[in-house]
Structure 1
Amino acid sequence: MKLSFLQPLYSRPGPWASTYLDTSRDIAEPDRVIASRWRRLRDDLTAHGADPATVHALHAAVGIDDDLPGRHGQALFATRGELVLAEELPAPPPHDTASVDALPDALPLVLQRAPDLPYLALLIGRAEDGDSVRLAAQAERWPAGRIDTDLAVRQTVPLEEWQQTAPQLSRDLADLAERGGAEVLVLGRDPGDTWVSDVLVDRLPEHLRKNLVTVGGRDHGGTWDRALLEERLSHELGSRLNAADQARLEAYLAQRARDRAGCEGTAATVTALRRARAAAVLVNDPASLPERLWAGPEATQIAESAAELHTFGVTHVREEPAGAALLRAAAETGAELVVVPRRTLPLDDGMGVLLHDDDAGVPPQ
């Protein structure tokens, strides 16, 4: 996962107010409930020293995702009276939380965005009159549900022309999938009428047909049953990595086989980040990182102790949440992040580091 979307959080000094809030709308009186949750967080922020202007900036952003149905949440980050980043969460946070620290607490947001898997969503079926076929396709990413509106196709085709039209439509969809980097094909169709979709899907590229997730249900006016879709995707995609992250994981495993101590655990990861040697940082989900690390004003000034930083000439040091310090160092040095399910590969201290090729095997300093 590229961390460039976090750059606004590291382009200005703190202190940072970081808020994670359940803004689900599958409940009675959601606006009243969300307002009540926010009041508790607002009081927490004030108690921890957040200035009134920063609290007000967060307040203005709470609930702006009210166009999203069902269960979801918000991650909000503000400093010095300015809302800097507001992100939708595909699922509610386990707990509503608010914190004030020198660094933004972005790790829960990053964990929720993983595995950031690109897919092509294809909804296809006969129209209500039975005389035509409706098709809607768009490039999306899971689990964030981010949709690229420029990468979409919608078409209605008379049923008698369907077989003649399907070859060109399949080429259009293949092009759409390629431009969106789709690694999975998610197909919504009527399970009792598979012929219509088979005519098209059988002509799509093999890598999409081999990575097919079928979601039952009829075409409801050309829109998805989002609850059904998310449930199915969670079951099918929850343990996957996207192709780029899978390649990084495999490279990491090869590296670990040569020198586990040099690339796994807190000491190895922090050393690589301090020396800007990290191509990617691996973290487990659920997270099991140490509670705190020490950091200086610069992103690469990171260590397990204040004394360690002092030996490098860093005079102004502070204790920070480990996840916040790791993310800043990774984002600012160009390292990417690979979120690895703990059941897939438990990592020492919940973290590891893939070194740049020219650094593999170099003793840490």
Structure 2
Amino acid sequence: MELAFLNPLYEHPGFWASAYVDLSEHDEDMQHRRHLTAQAVSRSLREQGADEPTCHAVYEAVEGLRRSTEPYGVALFARDGEVALQVPLTRRPPDGPVRWGTLPHVTPLLDLAGEDPVSLVAYIDRTGADFELRSALLHETAGGVTGRQWPVHRAKASDWSERHFRLKVENTWEHNAREVAGALAACQAETGADLLILCGEERERRSVHEQLPKQLRERAVETGHGIGSRLLPQEVEEIRAGHVRQRILAEVDRFRAARTPDEERRAAAVEGVPQLIEAAREHRLAELLIRPDAPDTHRQVWIGEDPAQLAARRTELKNLGEQLSWPARADDALVRAAVVTDAPVLSLSPVLEETGDEVAVGGLGALLRWT
């Protein structure tokens, strides 16, 4: 997950309020329930030692969501009496968490707002295609393309003229497949869609798939669903979830291979808090892998004002010349170090069934920019 949008949270040191608010229930009691949520969130922050202006700012922000139509929820991050960032979620959050700490608690975003590929769905037939954009928070039309309308049906007789007619039909199909593939490529470039879903009869969707540029063929999937109708949200979610799992599994394979030392006994991947801290100090994190709620994620480390200044013990920071230091969760400290150096962060939650908990000691690992 690319987390550049979190950069504003790391521009100033200081304590942060983090709250994940469930907005998934929409009924006649919704407004009253959200009013109670606003009270509970601000009370929890106050009990953890948050300053009153920040508690009030979070209360007002949650109160302002009483009529929100967000389907799942939002994450709020606040400090110094101001909500600095509000992030819509793509999954319903569990109860809490509400945190007051030296860093914003952003790790839950990896599962609650991350890996939500925007899908460009094409409903293909022999004469063209209609396009839709779909994600957990998005469902809108995206145009389409109309190819040649005649001839598109084969004749059954065997004389020369009708064989010639069938050849024209074949040419029409291939022409229309090229038209659809070209329009899909243009729409993908305009929308930045991560995944292409090709719906329709096998021949039509396969022909379009083969006509796509190579870089798009690799991110396209075919499905017989949606023939004669639009894909249901659950069908889109299953396709998108499968795409996400395959992408994460590919990164897990990369991590496992990079973890093996070369002939000079150097590895291109590390795991465990001490080695990750060393790599973060040297700006060597290329991609951070996290298994949320694993043992090392909530291990205490020490941080300085500079995101690269972190250590397992406070005395280490003093030895490095850092005069100010605060305790923090290991996952939040390492995510901060990754974000400010433009390193993506990946949650391993979607592949736990396939990998179990053996990937990355303690639940934290990283691919390195250099050994």
Q: TM class by shorter-chain length?
A: 0.7 to 0.9
List aligned pairs for 1:114-263, cutoff 5 A.
114-115=114-115, 117=117, 120-124=119-123, 135-138=130-133, 145=137, 153-155=142-144, 157=146, 160=149, 163=173, 165-178=176-189, 182=193, 184-187=195-198, 200-201=208-209, 203-205=211-213, 208=216, 211-214=220-223, 216-217=225-226, 225-234=232-241, 236-241=242-247, 246=250, 249=252, 251-258=254-261, 259=266, 263=270
Question: Could you tell me which amino acid in structure 2 is paired with residue 298 of structure 1?
Answer: D
Q: Structure 2: which amino acid aligns with 1:263?
A: V
Which has the greater radius of gyration?
A: 2
Identity of aligned residues (%): 26
Deviation of the 1:228 alpha carbon? 4.0
Matched, 1:264 2:271: yes
Q: Match of 1:99, SS?
A: strand
How far does residue 28 in structure 1 lie from its aligned partner after superposition? 5.9
1:300 to 293, 299, 308: 308
TM normalised by structure 2 equals 0.75
* Distance apart, 1:26 and its partner CA: 5.6
Determine the C-alpha separation between the residues in 2 that align with 1:159 and 1:46.
66
3-state DSSP of counterpart to 1:239: helix
1:69-119 CA distance string (max 9 Å, x none) = 4xx2211111112221111111112222211112111111134344354x5
Instruction: Report if the CA contact (8 A) 1:283-1:337 is conserved.
Output: yes
Deviation readout 1:189-228 (Å, 9 max, x if unpaired): 6xxx6677566556434665564153734676xx764344
2:270 aligned counterpart, secondary structure: coil
**Which residue of 62, 66, 69 corresponds with 1:67?**
69
- State the secondary structure of the residue aligned to 2:279: helix
* TM-score using structure 1 length: 0.76
Q: Residues 228, 36 of structure 1: CA spacing in aligned structure 2 closer, same or farther, 3 A cutoff?
A: farther
For residues 60 and 219 of structure 1, do their structure 2 counterparts lie closer, same or farther at Cα, with a shift above 3 Å needed? Answer: farther
1:90 is aligned with what amino acid?
A: T
Residue type of the alignment partner of 1:185: L
**Unaligned stretches of 5+ residues in structure 2:** 153-172
Q: Is the 8 A contact 1:268 1:353 kept in 2?
A: no
**2:308 aligned counterpart, secondary structure:** coil
Contact residue 37 and residue 96 of structure 1 kept, 8 A = no
After TM superposition, give the deviation of residue 6 of structure 1 in Å.
0.7
CA distance in 2, matches of 1:83, 1:219: 46
The aligned length equals: 336
**Residues 355 and 64 (structure 1 numbering): CA distance in 2 closer, same or farther, change over 3 Å?**
farther
Which residue is 1:42 aligned to?
Answer: 42
Shift of 1:186: 2.1
> Equivalent residue of 2:84, what SS?
strand
C-alpha contact (below 8 Å) 2:77/2:104 kept by paired residues: yes
Distance in structure 1 (CA, Å) of the matches to 2:320 and 2:364: 23
Aligned to 1:85: 85
Code of the residue aligned with 2:367 in structure 1: it is L
What secondary structure, in the 3-state scheme, does the structure 2 residue paired with 1:19 have? strand
Distance 1:264 1:17, change over 3 A: same
**Contact preservation (8 Å) 2:307, 2:340:** yes
For 1:279, the equivalent position in structure 2 comes to: 286
In structure 2, how many angstroms separate the alpha carbons of the residues matched to 1:199 and 1:213? 11
Q: State whether residues 25 and 66 of structure 1, in contact with CA within 8 Å, keep that contact through their aligned partners in structure 2.
A: no
Q: Tell me if the contact between 1:170 and 1:203 (Cα under 8 Å) persists in the aligned partners.
A: yes
Matches within 5 A, 1:284-363: 284-285=291-292, 287-288=294-295, 289-340=297-348, 341-342=351-352, 343-344=354-355, 346-357=359-370, 360=371
CA separation of 1:202 and 1:33: change in aligned 2, threshold 3 A = farther
Structure number with higher strand proportion: 1
Measure how far apart 1:3 and its partner are. Answer: 2.4
Moved more, 56-65 or 275-284: 56-65
Letter in 1 for 2:21: L
Q: Which whole-Å CA distance do the structure 2 matches of 1:8 and 1:309 have between them?
A: 24
Whichever residue aligns with residue 258 of structure 2, its letter is: Q
Give the corresponding residue for 1:129: none
Going from structure 1 to structure 2, the CA distance change for 1:215 and 1:183 (only over 3 Å counts) comes to farther
Counterpart Cα distance in 1 of 2:259 and 2:34: 46
Amino acid at match of 2:283: A
CA distance in 1, matches of 2:194, 2:177: 21
Q: More displaced, 177-186 or 1-10?
A: 177-186
* Distance in 1 separating the partners of 2:60 and 2:9: 19
Say what the alpha-carbon RMSD is for the aligned residues: 3.7
